[in-house]
Every structure is written in structure tokens, then in C-alpha cells.
Amino acid sequence: MGLEVNELFKQYGGKTVVDHLSFRMDEPGVYALLGTNGAGKTTSIRMMLDILAKDGGTAIWNGKPLSVNTCNIGYLAEERGLYPKYALMDQLVYFAELRGVSKADAKKRISHWSKRLELDEYLYPEQHKQSQLQTPARRGMFAGSKKEKPKLADQLSKGNQQKIQFLAALLSDPELIVLDEPLSGLDPVNTDLIKNVIREEIAEGKYLIMSSHQMATVEEFCTDITILHRSKAVLQGNLNEIKKGYGRVRLHVKTEQDITRYLQEAGIAVMSEKECEYELRVTGEEQANALLFRLMNDHVTIITFDLREPSLHEIFVEKAGEADERE
Amino acid sequence: MKGSDRYRGLKKVFTFTLQQMFRNKSYRGVLIALFVMGLFSIPLMVLTNGGGIMDIDDPTETAGGVAHVYVVNDTKYAFDPAALATGQFEDIPFEAAEAIPEDTGMILPTDAYVVISGKGKQVNVDVYTAKLAAGSSLADRTVALVQQLALEKSGLDDAAIMALSKQVSLDNLTESQYTDSRKVSFDVQYGVQLIYAIVVMMLSIYALSYIAQNLAEEKSSKLVEFLLISVKPGALVLGKVLACMLFVLCMMACMIAGVAVSWVVSSRFLDTSVVLQNFMLAGLSSSMFSFGFSVGAIVVFSLALSFATFSLLGGIFGATSNTMEDVQKAISLPMVLIMAGYMVSIFGAVSESRTAAAVLSLIPVVSAFTAPVNYVCGNISFGLLALSWAIQLLILAGLAVFGGRVYEALLIHRGERVKLKELFSLAGRRERRAS
């Protein structure tokens, strides 16, 4: 059960843009589709969701072809927008109704998410104004001022528009949520706000597919990944197992003295260095321990010594590089 | 894909689009402007056609400008001039006169002379008035009265007079004469063609530009991908097309309502008869509008066909635009087609050749402007009109299929506007994949 994507294939004018992509989600969680720009992430999502016709392959949800008829889908598209000149509330009710949500339910859900995503000021300007007026310092200052007009999309900042779009994706209380670059363009405060909502959705047992090239963001949430590079899947599987497979080979060292000599003697590859702070690649724990022993023996002041698995970013860059070399 | 799935969400898209169009200030402004234009139309026509303000208390206004009627009876019938004072002339004095004054300077412009003369069994009625319409009406009344007097004098009872008064007409025609008899005059045909072509052109141009604008707006809002989760491309485009079509019909209704209100109100204080007179002189008589239900149905069906065809064209070309700036370029080709159809139909109406009428009724685009008019005016048979409809229906179906093939790709297309050649290439690509 869950989601099963088999051999998705797409060509444009003879050029393959998605090359037999397959993956599955047997239980709720977050699946990440990662890749460089133009790797085929968005096209894969569009085919899965039946927005774009497939040249081959299937997307199955609980044994049936994935579509809005078989699955309640929430989608935050990569290309985001709102009708600039229509009232926000009208648009949201319309989006919800298109997903089969009644007008009354839609209004309740909009109200809930509006509070959660701190959008009351834009979706309920009149109520927001009233609540502002109840603040003693402001009482009387705006008394008798004219009624607030419904807000239009083009009166909102880009970040707030993005929150509205995120809200729209959740209006049908979806079981499968597809988020294409969900945090791009958001400020840190709003990023945290959205991240918290994503965590809540995961906790509620939803299936999430996230597409991004911001590895750190995805790494926070995802359990399984597919890395796409030039239309092909170059790495797939459970993120923890992939990392374990690489072993603890990344060493971050910060000292008070220059340790270049020790690194050369130990034959350790330096990936980056800046003011006695080193990003190193070691062969394993033994090599790292040997370095630590020598530094301590020579009374080098160690501020940080962190041996860890490679980050998703590092895995991604390595895999993309390998794929380029093969081609 | 099931049909119901293909068009799921169509009603919501239609309702939302229409609702937003009516909420939009500029769209509402257009409706109001058309209504106001309609309101001003009749007073403007009256004033530009030499009419003026009517004095409601002046009975001559209702009597077509006639203030006094003199009846000269040179027959043996005892004719009471007051018997003519009925209907629009009931408040006008009718008086017997010996003859029309030889000094015409004595005759006022508001005077009318009815001269009844006879030689043997022949009776002539001549009416002299400043205005044709009033004279014609006076002559009709006088002839009817003289006929009744003649029958009474012959000693017939009322029943026999009534039976003889029933008018029976006889037509003895050859086939070609019969066909010719169906033909209306050149003036009427030109008038009908002009009015019909203007209506088709207005409907088509408005539909084309509104639909194209709406689709470009949808694409430039970058919402399409999000919406396509809930609705299929066909339903999204069709919902918008239908909403725009209804809005355009509302625009027409506003204008017609404005003209109707204007007519009712204006006729109370303006001399609207001058407008009718000028229409009659231009060949646009009331007989043009008395074709009956079947012709009405033919005209409505033909209008609906052209409206739907140009609306679908608007849908396809609108979907090729990615920005509002692209819209004008995108609709230039269908706009040229509409203008060409209009111009050819107007110039074609000058020709009295049946072959030309048949050809113009079958050529796509032009036929949308000409076919029903040629049928109504007796230039083509119903069979030919049906063939013209069949061709138009085929084109409409072709456009619907073509649109169905390209909408998906067009809606999520980004970048430069899709050119016509690429449009066909997109449709071909879809076909290959389907096969």
C-alpha cells in the first residue's frame, strides 16, 4: 500500500527528461526528490500527479492509479501564483471547492490555517483591525475609520503570498502532500513557521513528497531519497542507510594553531580550510583517532573535533560529480 | 478517462470566472457604458435625423404632423369626413372641401387633403400630405370606407358586406417567379446583411478578446499547475470560455436593454417616427423582422455557431499567450479572420448572383456572416444552408478536438508565446503519443 512509482518516462522532442524513475513509499513519512536544476524533479511530480501526460510508467496509490479521484492530494507547485486582482478569500474558497470541499468547511479550514500561518491580517482584515483597536493605546485612534477592504494578492509580500499558497495546498486536508521547493524564498521566521506545519503533518501520518535542491532543509525531514541527475536516478534509498554506507568519513576540526603539517603527515585530504578551521575527509575512525592522538600529544589546542557521516549535500555533490564523470 | 472526470470542476471554474468578471470594476464599467450608449442611441438618432421634441398636448404629433384634414368628395357616395377621424387621427378636425386650393400658398404644411374622385365604376383616392407615413394611413382608411359605402349602396346586408370585405388574394406564378418572389428587395437584403454581420462581428470580437484575456490572465497568475490538480485542462479552458461567452451575451443584453428603455422613454417626448422613416428609406422596414419562428430559430442557431467557433478560437489563441502583453499579438490572426468575414459579407451582399451567394455561404468564416442571411433573403435553399451549418459544425468540432490536444501543453507552457506552427506541432505530438 502507499505510493508506488514505476518506470516514469518522459521525452521532449527526442530528449529524455525523466528516465525510468521508480520509487515507493510504503508508509507515511517524507520522501525527497533531489536534483540539480533541470534534473527532472518537477516533470516527475507533474507526471505522478497526472498534470502532465506520461510517455511511460505508472504512479499507483493504494493499488489504484494516482489521481484526484483515488487520493486526496495537496500540491504546492514549483511555479506559484495567485490571481493578483481577486480577493484572497474568494480565491481560497474557490480552490477548496474545486477540491470538493464545501463552502462552509472551506471557510472553517481557512480560518484555522489563517491563524496557524499568521495570515489573519490579510485574510480577515476587518477582524484584525477590530482586534488592533481593542489595544488600549490604539483605542479611539482609528475609531470611526472606514471599513477594511478585502485584501488582494498583489498587496501581499512574496513571502506572504507563498504562505497563502501553502495554505491552499492544505485546504482539502490531503493524505498525500507534494511540496515542490516549499521553503525557497521565505525569511527565517516564516521558514520555521512552515517547517513546524510540515512536522505536524508528518506527525499526523501524512505522506509527503518534497522536491528541493536545498539539501539541508530536506535532510531535516526526509526518511528516503532519490537523487536525480540529468533525468536519471543516481542514488536511491533510506537516507540513514545511505549515510551509514558512507561511514564516518567527514572530520571537522578547529584548532588554535596551524595543523597543516599533521594533516600532510597523516595523508588526510583537506576539503576546505579557513583560519585554522578544517573540513577533512578521512578513511575512517582509526585515521581520525590517530590525528587526535598526535594533536593532543603535541599540545595543540583543539576547539572542535567532529567526526561524522557525510551530509546529504556532500553525498549529492559527490553523486552528481560521479554521474558527470561517467558521461 | 471518463467524460465526467474530464469535465469535473467545469461548473466551479465557470461560476468563479463569471463572478469575478462581474466583480471587476472595469468589466462592470463596460456593461454600464453599453447600457448608457443604448440609452442615448434613440435621442441621438432622432436629433441627427431631423426629429425634435414632441409636444404631448399637441394632437398633430400623434397624427404624423397633420393638424387639419380636408376631404374633397367628387363621387356620388355620401361620404362623412368625420368617419375618418379614428385611431391616430381621432383628435384632428376633418372637414369637407370643394377642391384643393389652386393657390398652393394657401395650404399649410400641417394640412392634409383627401380627394375621392370617380369615373364610372372606378373610384380613386388621392391623399396629399407633407409626411408620407400619415398620408398612407389616411389613404388606407379612405379606401376601406369607400368600399364599404359602395357595398352598402348595392343593397347588400351586413353579413354579405362582411363576406365580400374578406380579402382573398390570388397568385399565379411559374417556378422561377415563385423563387424570385421569395427574394427580398436589394435594399432589405443589404440592410439585413449589414445588421447580421455587425451582430456576428461584435459577438465574435468581444468573445475573442475577453476569452484570450482571461486565459492569459490565468496563465500569467502562475496558478495553472496548482489548478490542474483539481481540474483537467479542457474543463479549465471550457469553464473560462463559457463564462466569457455569457458575459459577452450580458453585454449585448445591456445594450439592447438600453436601446429598449431609450425607445420607450424617448417616444413619449421625442418624434421617433423620423427614425423609422429613415430606416424605411434605408431598406430596413418592419417586414424584415416579421420572418416568423422558424427563421428566428435559424438565425439564433447560426449566431450560436459563429459565436462558439470564434470563442473556441479565442480559447486556443489565448492559451498561447503567457502574459497580458502577448494577448494582442495572439489574437491578431483570428481578429483578421473576423474582419475579413465581415468585409466579404458586406461586399458580397451587393452582388445579386445566386452562385456568389452559394459560394459565400459555404466558405468557412465568411459563411458565419452570410449563410443565414442568404437563406432568409431567398438566395440559397435550406439544403445549402444545412450544408453550410455542417461545414461550420465540422470546423467547430475540429477546433474542440484541436483545443483538447493542445490545451494541456499550452497551459503549462512557459517562455515565449507559442506560434501557429508550434501549435500544430504540439497537436501532432499529442496525437503520436496517443497512438
Final residue before a domain boundary, out of B163, B194, B209? B163
Q: How far A278 CA lies from chain B's nearest CA (Å)?
A: 44
Q: How confident is the model at residue B435 (pLDDT cuts 50, 70, 90)?
A: very low
Q: How confident is the model at residue B291 (pLDDT cuts 50, 70, 90)?
A: low
More confident call, A194 vs B283: A194
Amino acid (one-letter) located at B63: A
Residues of A whose CB is below 8 A from B13: 98
Final residue before a domain boundary, out of B119, B137, B163? B163
Task: Tell me if B407 is assigned to some domain.
Answer: yes
Quick check: A109 contacting B, CB < 8 Å?
no
- The answer to whether the Cβ–Cβ distance between A51 and B414 falls below 8 Å is no
Residues of B whose CB is below 8 A from A76: 226
Q: What is the torsion angle, in degrees rounded to the nearest 10, for the CA atoms of residue B54, residue B55, residue B57 and residue B62?
A: -30
Task: Tell me if B201 is assigned to some domain.
Answer: yes
- The answer to whether the Cβ–Cβ distance between B229 and A75 falls below 8 Å is yes
Quick check: A218 contacting B, CB < 8 Å?
no
Task: Tell me if B174 is assigned to some domain.
Answer: no
Task: Tell me if B168 is assigned to some domain.
Answer: no
Same domain assignment for residues B70 and B30:
no
- The answer to whether the Cβ–Cβ distance between B231 and A98 falls below 8 Å is yes
Is the pTM here over 0.90, yes or no? no
Same domain assignment for residues B70 and B141:
yes
Same domain assignment for residues B230 and B93:
no
Quick check: A305 contacting B, CB < 8 Å?
no
Question: Ramachandran region of residue A170, left (φ > 0), alpha (ψ -120 to 50) or beta?
Answer: alpha
Same domain assignment for residues B136 and B277:
no
Chain A: residue nearest B11 by CA?
A98
Q: How far A69 CA lies from chain B's nearest CA (Å)?
A: 8
Q: How far B21 CA lies from chain A's nearest CA (Å)?
A: 10
Distance of CA A50 to the CA centre of its chain: 21
Q: How far B224 CA lies from chain A's nearest CA (Å)?
A: 9
Same domain assignment for residues B208 and B240:
yes
Same domain assignment for residues B286 and B426:
yes
Quick check: B419 contacting A, CB < 8 Å?
no
d(C-alpha B4, C-alpha B232), whole Å: 11
Same domain assignment for residues B295 and B354:
yes
Among A49, A83, A85, the residue with its CB nearest the CB of B223 is A83
Task: Tell me if B30 is assigned to some domain.
Answer: yes
Residue B123, domain extent: 59-163
Quick check: A41 contacting B, CB < 8 Å?
no
pLDDT attached to residue B107:
75
**Helix, strand, coil % in chain A, rounded to nearest 5:** 40, 30, 35
Same domain assignment for residues B18 and B115:
no
Task: Give me the residues of A, 240-299, that contact B with CB < 8 A.
Answer: none
Same domain assignment for residues B215 and B318:
yes
- The answer to whether the Cβ–Cβ distance between B412 and A51 falls below 8 Å is yes
> Which tens digit of pLDDT belongs to each residue from B83-101?
878 777 777 888 888 888 7
| Predicted complex ipTM | 0.81
Task: Tell me if B343 is assigned to some domain.
Answer: yes
Quick check: B166 contacting A, CB < 8 Å?
no
Same domain assignment for residues B137 and B195:
no
Chain A: residue nearest B223 by CA?
A81
Residue showing cell 575527509: A281
CB atoms within 10 A of CB B15: 14
Task: Tell me if B52 is assigned to some domain.
Answer: no
CB atoms within 10 A of CB A37: 7
Chain A: residue nearest B232 by CA?
A51
Element spanning A33, H or E = strand A29-35
Task: Tell me if B54 is assigned to some domain.
Answer: no
d(C-alpha B174, C-alpha B171), whole Å: 10
- The answer to whether the Cβ–Cβ distance between B226 and A69 falls below 8 Å is no
Same domain assignment for residues B43 and B68:
no
Q: Per-residue pLDDT for A40 more than 80?
A: yes
- What's the domain count of chain B? 2
Among A55, A79, A80, the residue with its CB nearest the CB of B433 is A55
Instruction: List domains and CATH numbers for chain A.
Output: 3-71+175-243 (3.40.50.300), 248-308 (3.30.70.1150)
> Which tens digit of pLDDT belongs to each residue from A108-143?
999 999 999 988 888 888 776 677 666 655 555 555
> Which tens digit of pLDDT belongs to each residue from B17-44?
999 999 989 999 999 999 999 999 888 8
> Which tens digit of pLDDT belongs to each residue from A199-209?
999 999 999 99
Same domain assignment for residues B72 and B156:
yes
Distance of CA B216 to the CA centre of its chain: 32
CB atoms within 10 A of CB A137: 7
Do A233 and A204 meet the contact criterion of CB atoms below 8 Å apart? no
- The answer to whether the Cβ–Cβ distance between A51 and B13 falls below 8 Å is no
> Which tens digit of pLDDT belongs to each residue from B307-317?
999 998 888 88
Q: Per-residue pLDDT for A319 more than 90?
A: no
Q: How far A289 CA lies from chain B's nearest CA (Å)?
A: 53
